[in-house]
Every structure is written in C-alpha cells, then in structure tokens.
C-alpha cells in the first residue's frame, strides 16, 4: 500500500508520556499528525502527578520538526476528558484521531482487593475511554470522519491477580463493537478498533521482556496504531493484537450449539449435551447482537435463514432494550 500520510490530521494520545503511548505519539507525529500528548505522569499504580513525561515527548516531537502540545488532564474524570478534547480543538482545530492508551495496574487477589483499587482501574481504562471518547466522538461525528483506537489487552483471556484489569479490558471490546455499530448506523466514516499490545513497558512482566528480547520494542505497536488511525484503515469493530513485528485478529465466536427443538428443556438434558453445545466446528463470528440471536433462532427452530443485518434507528433503541 502507499505510504500513510497523516499531514493535517489531529491526534490525541492518552498515556503518551512513556512506553507504548510515547511510541504511538511519536509514530503519528512522524507521519505528519499534530499530537496532543496526554499523560499525568503517574506511577504504575496511578499515584502522583508529574508533567515531565508528557513535556519530554512533546520536546522530542518538536525537535524532529513535528507539532505537539502536552496535556496533564486526567481522563479518569469526565471533566478531564472534556478538557483534553477542548485543548486539541483550541490548539489544532479538531480531533481526527483518538488513541486511548492510559492505564494503571493494581494487582491483588479477587477476595481481598480493595474496591478503591478496582474503581481506579475501571476509571482509567474503561471509563477513561468513555470520558475522552464521548467529546471526541461528537467532534468527529460533526465532521463525518474519525479514527478511534482503544487499548485492550491479552488479559481478556484471563490472568490471576488482575481481575479488575481484565474486566476493564473486556469492557473496552464491548465499547469498541458498539461504537462501530453506531457509526455504521449514522453513516459516518468513524472507524473504531481495539488494540491489544505487547511491548516492553513498566507494566510488562520481566519474564515476558526476557522471553521476547529486542522484539518487545514499543515502536512495533506504534506501527499498528498508525495504520488503525489512518484514512486507509477500513477495519472497524475489530480487536487486534500487535507487537514484536506481529499482529493478528482476536474475535468472539459462537458455536452452533445444541437444541432439543421444543420449549421445555431440563438442566440434565443440557448437561448431557455439553459436547455438542460446545463443539467449535462450524462456529460463527457474529458481526452484531442481531446475528447472534439469529443463529440461536435458526438452531432452536430448525429454520434456515440468513443472519439479519438490521440497523436500529436511534429512536428505536430504547424500545428494543
């Protein structure tokens, strides 16, 4: 494909003061985007505020001839998210690209992890995507164009001691797919994807860093962000894993399942047919909730039918819930 050129585009990158976020910001700036480098400079546990990391990345970008400004607005709050978008609009006129990378890790056993820690993780990862994503979406929708990259994680497959983190990252996937559907419904060119990175950062386990060695360079993830943020990207509603010079698709599938073909079913009958119900042969990847329901209806009734692609108008949404 032709070289991606982001000249004239405006990007916001959260958590951009170090690691993967810095790689995103630098890579986008190298392609011509003006970048708002957002980072409160907190520790890995979210504590403290330091404007140094964001300022250093801005200095690096501007020294290379790029355009960037720093922001220490906290995306864990609605006001912080709005302030960040307003800063991008005031400095550069619009928001074309949002890469939400800010994160904290607060580990602990499920039985005893303090609720304050759980809320902090959800506030930064999941609600942070909402807080900055909502005002950015309004700007994008008004102009009919946008690219949103929300950071998820391989932790969605499950990892002990970080249940809150894994839950937040699963929430990112539901948000990604729903925003993809809203953009399609509205007929606007806003592409929304989730990116699960692997790279050598403060959050990465030392064993992983040693295992992958130089392949863990965050710049390899920055390349994925550049593609997903570009006008050339037609992917939307997808979850991609990137890093170490590799990327792949992560998807939610649904088996064909088992049905008894009658209204009544017992718990024992379900238990007797686990093998059939869980058999991955012939699985589908539903593009939306409607398609998932269509498959269930088809299998339960024995009626062969095409999966629906019904788009729900905004004034119908509430009545369908």
Catalytic residues: 165
Q: Could you tell me if 81 and 138 are in contact, meaning their C-beta atoms sit under 8 angstroms apart?
A: no
Residue 36 bridge partners (DSSP): 12, 69
- CA–CA separation, 90 and 284 (whole Å): 45
Half-sphere exposure of 211 (CA within 13 A, CB side): 8
Exposure class string for 103-119: b at 16+ Cβ within 10 A, else e: bbbbeeeeeebeeebbe
- CA–CA separation, 259 and 41 (whole Å): 54
User: DSSP H helical segments within the chain, as ranges?
Assistant: 19-30, 52-63, 78-92, 115-143, 163-186, 206-212, 219-228, 267-272, 274-278, 289-301, 314-320
- CA–CA separation, 237 and 241 (whole Å): 14
The rounded radius of gyration (Å) of the Cα atoms in the chain is: 21
Cα angle: 85, vertex 88, 89; to 5 degrees: 90
Let me know how many helices (H) and strands (E) the chain has, helices first: 11, 8
- CA–CA separation, 177 and 287 (whole Å): 9
Residue 197's Cβ-count burial label (10 Å; 0-12, 13-18, 19+) is: buried
Q: Could you tell me if 33 and 97 are in contact, meaning their C-beta atoms sit under 8 angstroms apart?
A: yes
């Amino acid at each position: 494909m032709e070289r991606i050129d982001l000249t004239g585009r405006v990007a916001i990158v959260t958590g951009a003061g170090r690691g993967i976020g810095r790689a995103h910001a630098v890579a986008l700036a190298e392609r011509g985007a003006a970048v708002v480098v957002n980072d409160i400079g907190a520790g890995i546990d979210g504590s403290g505020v330091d404007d140094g990391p964001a300022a250093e990345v801005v200095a690096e970008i501007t020294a290379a001839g790029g355009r960037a400004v720093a922001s220490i607005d906290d995306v864990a709050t609605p006001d912080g998210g709005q302030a960040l978008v307003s800063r991008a609009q005031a400095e550069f006129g619009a928001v074309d690209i949002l890469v939400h990378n800010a994160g904290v890790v607060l580990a602990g056993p499920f039985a005893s992890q303090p609720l304050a820690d759980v809320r902090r993780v959800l506030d930064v990862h999941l609600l942070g995507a909402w807080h900055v994503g909502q005002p950015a979406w309004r700007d994008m929708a008004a102009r009919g164009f946008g690219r949103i990259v929300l950071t998820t994680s391989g932790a969605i497959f499950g990892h002990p001691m970080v249940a809150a983190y894994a839950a937040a990252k699963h929430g990112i996937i539901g948000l990604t797919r729903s925003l993809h559907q809203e953009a399609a419904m509205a007929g606007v060119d806003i592409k929304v994807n989730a990116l699960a990175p692997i790279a050598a950062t403060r959050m990465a386990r030392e064993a992983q860093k040693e295992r992958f060695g130089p392949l863990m360079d965050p710049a390899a993830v920055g390349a994925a962000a550049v593609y997903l943020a570009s006008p050339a990207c037609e992917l939307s509603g997808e979850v991609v894993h990137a890093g170490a010079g590799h990327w792949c698709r992560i998807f939610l599938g649904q088996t064909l399942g088992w049905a008894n073909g009658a209204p009544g079913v017992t718990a024992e009958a379900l238990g007797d047919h686990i093998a059939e119900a869980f058999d991955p042969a012939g699985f589908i990847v539903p593009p939306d909730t409607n398609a998932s329901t269509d498959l269930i209806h088809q299998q339960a009734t024995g009626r062969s039918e095409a999966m629906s692609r019904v788009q729900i108008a905004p004034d119908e949404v509430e009545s369908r819930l």
